[in-house]
């Protein structure tokens, strides 16, 4: 992995794709996979350039999107696509004000040695977003690189986008989100001590101190917990525990179905597979305990997911990883 200021690939010959790639959904995978496949065919290096922070987070902090993944999750997902080099561009005022012509000459040309550039139809760059696909089509030949524009990947009649994934997750439609991402939506964080209420309800839980800024809508979910490379079937609650008093802070609590192990202080990845129900306020803890037992039963009966179909942060779509293009 390289930063914006220390990369020098002149003379190497690269196939480049550029974007924020929030979520690394199947539309992003089509762009990156296209570049990776082309690089393999030409015997060149594949390079993905992404930004940190996300360009909209920097430019519009008061109206920026809550990101679908942590930065580390994004890098893992990109690298799992078979990319040779990831260049992280630290987005700043300097980068935001970089003229589009300079971006072509100094970065794509002098720094990266770009032979071929792969972008989405809506790609923009340079000061004020003045660089776009139309501009690239005009200047690519005279700057010695080819341009490949990768079309959107569709689900139904609409293109896959980070916003569409975000809407699905926020509404609890995590199975739809998994379709759009090519893998389940996942949270990561450290397991911390809770108030111990789960044990009193015959369902001890691991409380996740989240690294992610974006979580599914409140409710109870069938989940898969991954700890140190081992997966466990689980049921998880996202919400404010209304049965126990006034609405409190948002928590994510997970109960492992098949075992009870000490998790406190450990890093956990939690993949969301299916929503069981909304979070509701029960008349008593006993009524909640009865419902939790039913939630556990339903989660236990959830159709077993094979390793080939259940993909986590660092396991993106095999079709793209194997170099098959989509949406072009």
Domain boundaries for CATH 3.40.50.620 within the chain: 2-154
pLDDT per residue over 174-202, tens digit each?
A: 999 999 999 999 999 999 986 656 555 55
Sign of the torsion formed by the C-alpha atoms of 274, 322, 7 and 107? negative
DSSP-derived pairing of the beta strands 230-239 and 158-159: unpaired
DSSP-derived pairing of the beta strands 2-3 and 85-90: parallel
Asked if the model's pLDDT at residue 304 lies above 60, the reply is no
Cis peptide bond N-terminal to 130, omega within 30: no
Are 213 and 189 in contact by the 8 Å Cβ rule? The answer is no
Domain boundaries for CATH 2.40.30.30 within the chain: 161-300
Beta-bridge partners for 269:
188, 226
Q: Which fold has domain 161-300?
A: Elongation Factor Tu (Ef-tu); domain 3 (2.40.30)
Report the distance separating Cα 25 and Cα 161, nearest Å.
7
Report the distance separating Cα 8 and Cα 290, nearest Å.
62
pLDDT per residue over 135-179, tens digit each?
A: 999 999 999 999 999 999 999 999 999 999 999 999 999 999 999
Are 250 and 242 in contact by the 8 Å Cβ rule? The answer is no
pLDDT per residue over 202-258, tens digit each?
A: 577 899 999 998 999 999 999 999 999 899 999 999 998 777 766 678 999 999 998
Predicted local confidence at residue 199, as pLDDT = 59
Asked if the model's pLDDT at residue 312 lies above 50, the reply is no
DSSP-derived pairing of the beta strands 158-159 and 154-155: antiparallel
CATH hierarchy code of domain 2-154: 3.40.50.620
Report the distance separating Cα 139 and Cα 265, nearest Å.
53
Report residue 102 CA to chain centroid gap. Answer: 30
């Amino acid at each position: 992995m390289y930063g914006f200021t220390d990369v020098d690939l002149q003379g190497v010959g690269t196939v480049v794709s550029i974007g924020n790639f929030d979520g690394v959904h199947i539309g992003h995978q089509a762009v990156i996979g296209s570049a990776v496949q082309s690089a393999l065919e030409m015997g060149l290096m594949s390079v993905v350039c992404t930004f940190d922070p996300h360009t909209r987070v920097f430019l519009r902090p008061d109206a920026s999107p809550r990101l679908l993944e942590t930065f580390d999750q994004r890098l893992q997902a990109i690298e799992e696509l078979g990319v040779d080099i990831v260049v992280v561009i630290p987005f700043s005022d300097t980068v935001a004000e970089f003229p589009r012509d300079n971006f072509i000459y100094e970065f794509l040309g002098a720094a990266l040695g770009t032979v071929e550039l792969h972008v989405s139809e809506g790609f923009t760059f340079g000061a004020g977003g003045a660089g776009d696909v139309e501009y690239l089509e005009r200047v690519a030949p005279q700057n010695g690189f080819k341009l490949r524009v990768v079309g959107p990947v569709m689900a139904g009649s609409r293109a896959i986008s980070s916003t569409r994934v975000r809407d699905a997750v926020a509404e609890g439609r995590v199975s739809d989100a998994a379709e759009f991402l090519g893998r389940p939506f996942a949270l990561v964080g450290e397991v911390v001590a809770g108030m111990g209420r789960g044990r009193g309800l015959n369902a001890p839980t691991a409380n996740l101190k989240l690294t992610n800024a974006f979580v599914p809508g409140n409710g109870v979910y069938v989940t898969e917990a991954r700890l140190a490379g081992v997966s466990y079937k689980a049921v998880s609650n996202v919400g404010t525990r209304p049965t126990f008093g006034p609405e409190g802070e948002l928590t994510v609590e997970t109960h492992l179905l098949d075992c009870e192990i000490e998790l406190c202080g450990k890093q956990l990845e939690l993949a969301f597979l299916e929503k069981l129900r909304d979070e509701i306020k029960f008349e008593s803890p006993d009524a909640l305990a009865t419902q939790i037992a039913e939630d556990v039963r339903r989660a236990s009966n959830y159709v077993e997911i094979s390793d080939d179909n259940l993909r986590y942060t660092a396991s993106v779509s095999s079709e793209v990883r194997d170099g098959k293009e989509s949406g072009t």
